[in-house]
Structures are given as structure tokens and as C-alpha cells.
Amino acid sequence: MVFVRKAEERDREVILTITKAVGVFTSEDVACVDELLETYLHKPDQQEYYFLVACDEPDQVRGYTAYGPTPLTDGTYDMYWLAVTPEAQGRGLAKLLFLRAEEELVSAGARLIVLETSGTSEYAPARAMYERLGYEGRIAVPDFYRTGDDLVIFHKHLRKHGLGQ
Amino acid sequence: MVFVRKAEERDREVILTITKAVGVFTSEDVACVDELLETYLHKPDQQEYYFLVACDEPDQVRGYTAYGPTPLTDGTYDMYWLAVTPEAQGRGLAKLLFLRAEEELVSAGARLIVLETSGTSEYAPARAMYERLGYEGRIAVPDFYRTGDDLVIFHKHLRKHGLGQ
């Protein structure tokens, strides 16, 4: 069985290991994830970053997601990172992580989720998954990350609890 | 005569005063500008944020811009803030600030400039100016800042020195 829980200190190393293992992230990306983890784990009362992990029983971390409120917006949240270890891909863990994050965000009163990704072919499977999960993607800036690597921003409006839609 | 120079410690208060005076920025925006100023003025060897001011002779600050490298990109820079005090608007100061920032960025090897703005009617004059300055704008996320307030991202590719175009 797979389950999702909030990340804890003991997950730090495996989260970074998974980020490296995925193969699409640069060392700068890994450093950025580590910086967010530092805030999430050690800054008291912080409300910037949240981490969830997806685990196989009894408690083996296979993937994670990080999200938080987008600065200067009202009710918009960013999905900052999502990664599933290569051996566990294709089993729906990314979807589980997203659905749990969306649940948490609906409870927190979130209105909109956005996520930034790359337009390269390496990221095509990720983009296809975001679409299946109901996100709409737009090419926001051509050649953003580097020449030939566009910034694609996906967004999804959250439904309020109890509205029945 | 108007001239543009790098911002210094003594400009801090007037930069914040101008930000408030413009009328479109929230107190959260002002706090964000102040945070960037703190890094720019007091963090040694920082390369995240740069501030330029436009001044009337002999040295009265009328407007400013803040920019810096966009994290996780290769050669992309963000124009984070731009403001001109209401009494000095319509005199081309914003354009002067942008042209000087672009010069600095070309020297620094920048490839692309991006800037995020709002899609509301309050920002229509700003968006029109970015277009006149050669930026292309796209609605990246509808209802991003709040319902009815889209995220519009403008971008402009910089030309290399000596290529004659």
C-alpha cells in the first residue's frame, strides 16, 4: 500500500536523493529543494513551504511534493517541486501526492494552484500528467530557462467545499 | 536634466515613499521592495538584486527600478519593480530607467528580460509602456493575484553587443 504523509526531518536525505535520481534536475535545483526543506523543517511557525511524501509500507519514501502560498497573491499557491523515484514511477504516486496537496490547499482556503515547468521534451510526461489532473498549461515565456527551454505555467482553479461541483 | 545612477543607502526612504505614492502597490508590495533593498544595500557581495534611481538635478530621486537574475535560469533577468513618483510621470523617466537597466544587463551577458505585472486596468498604462519598449506580453495565469486580476508576463530578448541589430 502507498500512503501520503507530511515530510519530517528523517526524510531530508531521501528527498534530496530522489531529486537527484529523477535525472531532469540540475545541482542548482537540488540546492533549491534543500533550501526549502531547511525552512520547512527548521524555521518555527513558517508558512512558506510545505512538503508531503508518498511512501510504500511500512514507511519507505518514494516521492515528494513541495508547495506554498505564492507571495503577493490572494489565495494562490505554488506547487514548487514534484519528484518520484524512477523505480516507483508509473504507479500513480505523483497523482496521489497532487490530490493530497489539493485537499490540504482546499482546507487552507486556497483558490488557485499554479506550477511552473519546462517546455522541453524531457518534461513532456510531466506536462501530460498535469493536464490529466485538470491543469491548463500556457507557454508564458519562450526560451526562459535557456534557449529552446520555455517557461510553461499550469494553473487549476480549486472548487470550494460544499458547492457540489 | 534627468540622470540615472545606482541606488545608495541614502535613497532608501525616498524609494519606499515613491512606492507608496504611486497608488497601485499594496503594503505587502512595499515590504517586499524594502526586503530587496535590505539585501541590495547590506548583504556583501550579493548578486541577487540591483537598484537604479532616476534623479532630477542636482540629486532628487524621482523613480527607481529593481532587477536581478532569475533563479534557475541561464541568462534571464527579472525586472522586479519600477515606480516613478506621480509628479514626475509622463516625462520619460520609466523609459530612461529601463534603457539603463537593459544596458547594464547586456554588459552582464543577459539574454532575456522578463517582468510580471497585473492585467487590471490600473496597470494598462504600464503595460502599454512595456510594449512600446519592445516587450511582448502574455496572460500567463488568469485570476492569479486575485479574481479578475491576471498575471501578465512580458519578455524581451536582448541583442548582443556588436551584432549590429
Q: Select from B139, B140, B145 the Cβ nearest to the Cβ of A74.
A: B145
Contact list in B for residue A26 (CB cut-off 8 A) is: 72
| pLDDT confidence bin for B38, thresholds 50/70/90 | very high
Q: Model-level pTM?
A: 0.88
What is the structure's pLDDT at B89? 92
pLDDT digits (tens, 9 = 90+) for A5-58: 999 999 999 999 999 999 889 999 999 999 999 999 999 999 999 999 999 999
Closest residue in chain A to residue B75, using alpha carbons only: A146
Q: Is the pLDDT of residue A136 over 60?
A: yes
Q: Is the pLDDT of residue A165 over 80?
A: no
Q: Select from A72, A112, A141 the Cβ nearest to the Cβ of B143.
A: A112
With an 8 Å Cβ cutoff, are A72 and B114 in contact? Answer: no
pLDDT digits (tens, 9 = 90+) for B89-129: 999 999 999 999 999 999 999 999 999 999 999 999 999 99
Q: Select from A70, A143, A155 the Cβ nearest to the Cβ of B112.
A: A143
Percent of residues, chain B, with pLDDT higher than 70 = 96
**Inter-residue contact A128 to A154 (CB < 8 Å):** no
The B2-6 sheet, strands edge to edge: B2-6, B50-56, B60-69, B76-84, B112-118, B149-157, B136-146
Q: Is the pLDDT of residue A161 over 90?
A: no
What is the structure's pLDDT at B160? 62
Contact list in B for residue A144 (CB cut-off 8 A) is: 70, 73, 76, 112, 114, 155
What is the structure's pLDDT at B159? 74
With an 8 Å Cβ cutoff, are A142 and B153 in contact? Answer: no
pLDDT digits (tens, 9 = 90+) for B119-165: 999 999 999 999 999 999 999 999 999 999 999 999 999 976 544 43
Q: By a Cβ cutoff of 8 Å, what residues of chain A touch chain B?
A: 26, 28-29, 32, 70-76, 111-112, 114, 138-147, 151, 153, 155, 157
Q: Tell me the one-letter amino acid at A107.
A: S
Among residues B80, B151, B78, B82, which one has the least CA distance to residue B117?
Answer: B151
C-alpha cell at A31: 540546492
Q: Is the pLDDT of residue A164 over 80?
A: no
For chain B, what is the mean pLDDT? 94
Percent of residues, chain A, with pLDDT higher than 70 = 96
Q: ipTM of this complex > 0.90?
A: no
What is the structure's pLDDT at B165? 39
What is the structure's pLDDT at B24? 87
* CB-count exposure of residue B94 (10 Å: 0-12, 13-18, 19+): buried
What is the structure's pLDDT at B163? 46
**Helix (H), strand (E), coil (C) string for A13-26:** HHHHHHHHHCCCCC
